[in-house]
Structure formats: structure tokens, C-alpha cells
């Protein structure tokens, strides 16, 4: 069985409070984007995972796909030994949730392959054990998210009439370090009303709290965002805690970015 875990962007991201459990409360809109990895499962005599592609490192036990597999096997005896293959296309640690998507899609595949009959709400509860934004990829539709990112309600946002350009610099931004530079505050705009605001007006209302501290550490990222605007982006922002930036353009248009940083550019038409 094959699946194609996709990434996401954040439309607006406000860090509103520190929590007693050490996490932060946030408000954001998660929006799915069709830049995908490739995940395959096949029956095997011995369970194993094979990772290929960009930025693959570490032990299989640390991979969210493997954690998802072991989590489901511990609950459902019907799940047998599998050979798991991942082709990694989504840049890792780039603010697009690629690892979370892989883990969530593994849960979805196991549910379908073994006909477990789990509803999305049940899968989302299991996905939360893997990570705060994993439940989003169970639903994989635009969602207004609060809490740690796990409390969601559908968001009426549709960018299908536009093109999205992803700029993925080879800069690692530590999410933990970025959080330490933030001062939580009330959200300046209610993202549940995003659909009421023409996209041409987003720039005046919709922002990402991580941009100020991350741009201070990596001014090259701010320069890329400026180029996106200079070359016609209707709206541009950093996704998550970075380092990916995205621009929303009229259909068929994109920017030609120049930077001293090595980066990838992806066009979602």
C-alpha cells in the first residue's frame, strides 16, 4: 500500500500563553500543501523500516513512522510484521510538519490496510501521542488550531485559486530556542474570521510571532520574504518556527529568489 504524506503551512501563528506543563498555547490555521513524501508498507517476515531521501538521520526507533507502527501494534494484534519504506521529499525541521505527517499517515494506512474501523477522532487521539500537530494530518483539511495545536475546528480557507511557492533554506531553526525568545501575548487577530478577510488584506492583520526573533537570528530569511513581496506575492510568511517561507501568488506566478543561503523552491500550482 502506498500513501503520499503532505506538508502544511501556518497561516498566522500566535503564541498566547505559557502552560504549566511546559508547552505553549497557540492560535493558528493549519493549511495542507501538496508537497509530499512517499510511504509504502508491504507484508514481511521481519518488521523493518527503510528511509531514503533528504536529511534522513538517526535511529529508526526515533522516527515517528516507526513509533506510529509500534503504537498501533501494541493495541491491535491484527497488525503483522511489515516492511516500511519512506522516500523523504519534504525538508526536515523546516516548519512544515513533514515528520508529523509521516507518522499520522502511517496510522491512517494501518487503519485502512487492516480494516480496523477507527474513526478520525480515534486516530487523532492516537496521533496526539506522537506529537502536537500530528492530529492535524489525520483530518488533513484547513483547521483553526488552539491549545498545543491539537484542539481543532474546520477553517473556511481555500487557496486553490492561487499558487503557493515554498522557499526552504538550509537553515536549522531550533523551535525550543525560538520559543525562549518569545513573549506570549493575546492574538491580535481572530483567525476564525480569516475567511471574511480578502487575501489582499492579510498582510495588515495576519502574522507569525516567530518571525521577529527568528529573523533577528537569521536576517537572510527576512530578505527572502521581502523578495517574495517585491516579486508579486499577495501574502508571504514564515511557516511554523521556520525556516520555510511561503508566498501566495496569482495562479501561475512565482518569484525568482536569490540568496547566499542554499535553498529549495517548490511551486504548488
**Which residues are annotated as catalytic?**
8, 133
Cβ-Cβ contacts under 8 Å for 184 (sequence gap 6 or more): 15, 16, 17, 18, 24, 25
Phi-psi group of 171: left, alpha or beta (phi > 0 → left; psi -120 to 50 → alpha; rest → beta) = beta
d(CA 206, CA 203): 6
DSSP state of 46: S
Listing from the earlier edge strand, what are the strands of the sheet with 2-3? 2-3, 38-43, 82-88, 48-53
Dihedral angle of Cα 29, 32, 37, 41, to the nearest 10 degrees: 100
CB atoms within 10 A of CB 213: 19
Amino acid at each position: 500500500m502506498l500513501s503520499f504524506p503532505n506538508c502544511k503551512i501556518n497561516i498566522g501563528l500566535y503564541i498566547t500563553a505559557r502552560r504549566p506543563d511546559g508547552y505553549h498555547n497557540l492560535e493558528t490555521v493549519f493549511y495542507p500543501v501538496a508537497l509530499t513524501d512517499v510511504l509504502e508498507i508491504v507484508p514481511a517476515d521481519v518488521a523493518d523500516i527503510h528511509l531514503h531521501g533528504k536529511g534522513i538521520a538517526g535511529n529508526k526507533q526515533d522516527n515517528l513512522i516507526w513509533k506510529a507502527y509500534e503504537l498501533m501494534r501494541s493495541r491491535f494484534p491484527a497488525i503483522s510484521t511489515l516492511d516500511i519504506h519512506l522516500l523523504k521529499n519534504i525538508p526536515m525541521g523546516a516548519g512544515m510538519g513533514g515528520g508529523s505527517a509521516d507518522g499520522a499517515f502511517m496510522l491512517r494506512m494501518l487503519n485502512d490496510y487492516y480494516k480496523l474501523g477507527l474513526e478520525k477522532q480515534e486516530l487523532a487521539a492516537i496521533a496526539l501521542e506522537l506529537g502536537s500537530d500530528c492530529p492535524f494530518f489525520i483530518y488533513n483539511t484547513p483547521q483553526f488550531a488552539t491549545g498545543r495545536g491539537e484542539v481543532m475546528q474546520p477553517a473556511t480557507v481555500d487557496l486553490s485559486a492561487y499558487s503557493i511557492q515554498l522557499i526552504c533554506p538550509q537553515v536549522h531553526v531550533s523551535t525550543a530556542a525560538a520559543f525562549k525568545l518569545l513573549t506570549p501575548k493575546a492574538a491580535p487577530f481572530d483567525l476564525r474570521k480569516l475567511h471574511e478577510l480578502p487575501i489582499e488584506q492579510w498582510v495588515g492583520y495576519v502574522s507569525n510571532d516567530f518571525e521577529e526573533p527568528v529573523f533577528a537570528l537569521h536576517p537572510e530569511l527576512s530578505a527572502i520574504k521581502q523578495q517574495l513581496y517585491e516579486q508579486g506575492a499577495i501574502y508571504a510568511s514564515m511557516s511554523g518556527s521556520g525556516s520555510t517561507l511561503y508566498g501566495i501568488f496569482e495562479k501561475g506566478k512565482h518569484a525568482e529568489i536569490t540568496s547566499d543561503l542554499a535553498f529549495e523552491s517548490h511551486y504548488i500550482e
